[in-house]
Amino acid sequence: MLALLYDIHGNLPALEAVLADAEAAGADCWLLGGDVAAFGGWPAGVVERLHGLEGAQWLRGNTERELAEPGVLAADELLGAALAAGRDALGEATVAELFGLPERLTLLEGHFCHASPLNDMESFGVEPSGDEDRLLDGVQAQRIVFGHTHVQFTRTRDDGIELINPGSIGIPLDGDQRAAYALLGEDGVLDLRRVAYDHEAAAAGIGERFGGAAWTEIFAGRIRRAAP
């Protein structure tokens, strides 16, 4: 059984709760969909924990890219400070390792990417849009798995392509503070799952780790509210 783990964002308590739930459900394979470390209280701890998942497939998200090559996010003063703090916590070697990950993978279970096959910033919404064919970037897989928006959902397009967003483990933004992830069974059945954990402690942990820097309240508030 394949566990789809997306947008952990350095939230180790949420990750531990999800891993326990997934293992109890029979997960034995792991797909890590990017944005694993930055913005939470445990960047290095999350990476270390994920390294312990034997045979895990890793993807690069937009924050892994910007940790190594600052861009749109880093241009914002507060987000730039958050990325700098994550970069310092991880160290140059880990930042380089994460930057070198593939942007997308095609496996038997489908096509996996961070935001869309097109790039790591533009993604699919809960409701259909006229722009989706461009986002597919010519990918022919009947199942596309992505994250980035931190909103858990699945829907099937008129052409039969199934779009799956497992949601965010570390910073859900759909009004539900529980960590979100998904399981794919060997029979192809999808199970979207939510796991309760101490999100208040996870929110507080950001300020505790990074000394109350101005940016920490942004992400602590998102964890507490499960909203932007």
Tell me the pLDDT tens digit for each residue of 24-64.
999 999 999 999 999 999 999 999 999 999 989 999 999 99
Bigger pLDDT: 202 vs 109? 202
What is the mean pLDDT of the segment spanning 188-202? 97
Q: How confident is the prediction for the chain on average, in pLDDT?
A: 96
> How far is the C-alpha of 193 from the C-alpha of 5, rounded, in Å?
11
The residue whose two tokens read 């949420």 is 14
Q: How far are the Cα atoms of 57, 75, 104, 212, 224 from residue 33, in angstroms, in the given order?
A: 8, 24, 9, 29, 23
> How far is the C-alpha of 109 from the C-alpha of 45, rounded, in Å?
29
Q: In terms of DSSP H, where are the helices of the chain?
A: 12-25, 43-51, 62-68, 72-75, 77-90, 92-99, 132-136, 199-210, 216-225
pLDDT value of residue 3:
98
Answer yes or no: is pLDDT of 72 > 90.
no
pLDDT value of residue 132:
95
Answer yes or no: is pLDDT of 109 > 90.
no
pLDDT value of residue 212:
82
What's the predicted TM-score (pTM) here?
0.96
3-state secondary structure of 81: helix
Residue 202 φ then ψ, to 5°? -65, -40
